[in-house]
Amino acid sequence: MCGIFAIHGVEQPSLLRTQAIACSKKLRHRGPDWSGCYVGKQSILVHERLAIVGVDSGAQPLVYHDKGLSLAVNGEIYNYLALKEKFCSHDELKTHSDCEVILPLYQQMDVESLCSSLDGMFSFVLLDETTTPPRLIAARDPIGITTLYKGTSSSHPSRVYFASELKALVDDCDEIVSFPPGHVFDSATGKTTRYYTPSWWKGDDPSAPSATNAADLTTLREALEAAVRKRLMSEVPYGVLLSGGLDSSLIASIAVRETEKIAWARIKSGKKKAPEKAGEETNGHAPAEPEESARVSWPRLHSFSIGLPSSPDLLAARKAAAYLGTQHHEFTFTVQEGLDAIPDVIYHLETYDVTTVRASTPMYLLSRQIKAIGVKMVLSGEGSDEILGGYLYFHAAPDPKSFHEECVKRVKNLHTADCLRANKSTMAWGLEARVPFLDKAFLEVAMNIDPKHKMFSKGAAEEKDADGRPKMEKYILRKAFDISPGGKAYLPHSILWRQKEQFSDGVGYSWIDGVKDHAASVVSDEAFAKRHETFPTDTPDTKEGYYIRELFQHQFPSETAAATAVRWIPRGDWGCASDPSGRSVSIHTAAYEGE
């Protein structure tokens, strides 16, 4: 991933070049490898690059002077080789970048079809200066894995701004919105329209069909394996975030198997090991074909975990890593170190949602350690709980229809929570996180499964299937990987069937308790009593929420900045506790009784 910044609708754009670069500089943590700027007839595109694919030749903005086109992209296009073969002539592309294929696609199809054809995570701004006036296209990936904001200024109503993060817009825009996932903006019409309409997306039509498919465990398993496989596209060292929970452990297990396949393929082709750096076996020159560099790795997959000393996640991750044979890196932090980091975490997150801040802080600390080792890309397990109803509070869903609707709602809002966390916590240190569970093809399989196969109840710990497996949360995912291909199981039984722990809980229960205690000590009773006066909109209901909101307000004081944040509130109508921690759900403790 990278950082992008754009201004469109400017009369004399050359006069704003310095200002645009200064705004983009606020995003440089996202792309520390290089910066590029293109000044057009009425526009400026700036790009902060994190080089993952096309390392030798993929600097942006990509500019086709002879065709009047320029492009700035944040993200990865996993199917770029297939698109290149189908839509591009042999000498049409100038670089090995996976993103460049967007330009010839634009010349051959409408913008909705262009965006729909891309398989990946992306936000991009494309400028076409062959039209009068010049045309600007901006788009965001279907689920919002990458971040994108759109801004306008009342003092310059003809201008429209785009940036990967809020902080690049706050000084120039008095109206800012989070650009909606699965949408595309066209300056020719001034409209933002939806291009992503999957079969499970009901939209506003209550009569649209709900998910009705049977749970085909083989299809589910193969779809996730394919999702991981395509995300190993990289020319730089990569690893996997391993909390020891089901989701990250499955991703790690699949990645280990795929990495071994890559290593064996290289041995068979006469290369004894995968290069550890781009250019290692090419004498510093660009490889002849991008296919040669598209999937490389270290000889052993590296895994990374973090937690308070002896936390549940550290212990489980250690066990999973030993079983999988990864090169495991374990880091610990103290509650005080986490508290010290919270102001910086909020600056990078650009939200005051309590759940997101709780979980992002250890991820932010871990990302710094990973980047120090030299890794630039990691796989992560976000999305599974939303897709499969894996959060413990889902046990309280009154019926399958409600269960499914909550899943759809949570997936639609991932860009405000877990996707935002995964993107910004890692990119704060120039580390890219890829999320296989949010693969479009996997979503088509998993979101169309009849919710009755996903549901679980308070008595799930006692209910067993014919093989003696507990029918707990995410049962169908666990069951799909409860096999031993080649004689070795994907995961140990204790990991595959481990109960859900939210990341902010799993790093150590005293982490959340410590944040609450700190907030209680710094937020006075008097200030909290006047919270409705201080924050009349989206008023915090706990001292922890007040403390986090106050830190956000200090760094982003405008109302338009606050309006971009979304606070998740537990389902009180399902009888859920007001605290978003998984430990607040009754079945969390019940599941451990008798152990």
Q: Is 325 assigned a ligand-binding role in the annotation?
A: no
Please give the structure tokens belonging to residue 266. Answer: 């290289």
Please give the structure tokens belonging to residue 430. Answer: 């120039």
Contact 485, 577 (CB under 8 A): no
Contact 119, 440 (CB under 8 A): yes
| DSSP 8-state symbol, 213 | B
Q: Is 241 assigned a ligand-binding role in the annotation?
A: yes
Residue 419 annotated to the active site: no
Contact 146, 174 (CB under 8 A): no
Contact 24, 45 (CB under 8 A): no
Question: In whole angstroms, how far apart are CA 554 and each of 152, 343, 534, 549, 567?
Answer: 22, 10, 12, 9, 18
What is the identity of the amino acid at 584? S
Please give the structure tokens belonging to residue 377. Answer: 């890309």
Q: Is 164 assigned a ligand-binding role in the annotation?
A: no
Q: Is 338 assigned a ligand-binding role in the annotation?
A: no
Contact 112, 192 (CB under 8 A): no
Q: Say which of 2, 99, 115, 576 is annotated catalytic.
A: 2
Taking CB atoms within 8 Å and a gap of at least 24, the contacts of 287-296 are: 287/96, 290/53, 290/54, 290/81, 290/96, 290/98, 291/81, 293/53, 293/55, 293/96, 293/235, 294/53, 294/81, 294/233, 294/234, 294/235, 295/232, 295/233, 295/234, 295/262, 296/234, 296/235, 296/262
Question: In whole angstroms, how far apart are CA 542 and each of 26, 524, 550, 580?
Answer: 32, 12, 12, 12
Measured distance between the N- and C-terminal CA atoms of the chain, rounded to whole angstroms: 43
Q: Is 4 assigned a ligand-binding role in the annotation?
A: no
Q: Which of 58, 54, 68, 60 is nearest to 27 (CA)?
A: 60
Which active-site residues does the annotation give? Answer: 2
Known binding residues for L-glutamine are: 98
Known binding residues are: 98, 241, 306, 380-381
